[in-house]
């Protein structure tokens, strides 16, 4: 079975500092990987996804993530955060050519400190 682990439930970061949100997955077959963001009291929206090809994926709002197959990781990074990045971030995985479900991690809440 597949699983997703987000290693930090909360991450405090000073404004304009860099941030990394960690995500590890477990799967014996090929997967697609996603990062979604949820602003307070709203639904989720896609930040970026890895399907194939280049392991460095760039998304919206200056975020990027790197797929590392050997370490089964898909960490999300931003070089300089802004107060508007305050949100909860979810890593997710779906198995290629398997039943049509996606598995979400438990989320990481990003707190931007002034």
Partner 1 sequence: DGGITQSPKYLFRKEGQNVTLSCEQNLNHDAMYWYRQDPGQGLRLIYYSQIVNDFQKGDIAEGYSVSREKKESFPLTVTSAQKNPTAFYLCASTPGQGLTISGNTIYFGEGSWLTVV
| Site residues for partner 1 per CB under 8 A | 9, 32, 34, 36, 41-46, 49, 51, 90, 94-102, 104-107
Least distance from C-beta 24 to partner 1, angstroms?
14
φ/ψ region of 62 (left if φ > 0, alpha if ψ in -120 to 50, else beta) reads left
d(CA 76, CA 29): 22
- Residue among 97 and 114 whose Cβ is closer to partner 1: 97
Sign of CA dihedral 69, 73, 74, 77: negative
The two counts, helices (H) then strands (E), for the chain are: 0, 12
CA dihedral 79, 89, 36, 73 (to 10 degrees): 70
- Residue among 43 and 114 whose Cβ is closer to partner 1: 43
Least distance from C-beta 91 to partner 1, angstroms?
9
- Residue among 56 and 96 whose Cβ is closer to partner 1: 96
Strand-strand pairing, 3-6 and 23-26: antiparallel
Least distance from C-beta 80 to partner 1, angstroms?
26
- Residue among 15 and 24 whose Cβ is closer to partner 1: 24
Least distance from C-beta 85 to partner 1, angstroms?
19
């Amino acid at each position: 079975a597949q699983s997703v682990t987000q290693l930090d439930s909360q991450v405090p970061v000073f404004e304009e500092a860099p941030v990394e949100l960690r995500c590890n997955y477990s799967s014996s077959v090929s997967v697609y990987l996603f990062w979604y963001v949820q602003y307070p009291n709203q639904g989720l929206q896609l930040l970026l996804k890895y399907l194939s090809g280049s392991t460095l994926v760039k998304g919206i709002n200056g975020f990027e993530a790197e797929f590392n197959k050997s370490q089964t990781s898909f960490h999300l990074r931003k070089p300089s955060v802004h107060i508007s990045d305050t949100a909860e971030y979810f890593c997710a995985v779906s198995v290629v050519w398997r039943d049509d479900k996606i598995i979400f991690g438990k989320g990481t809440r990003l707190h931007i400190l002034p």
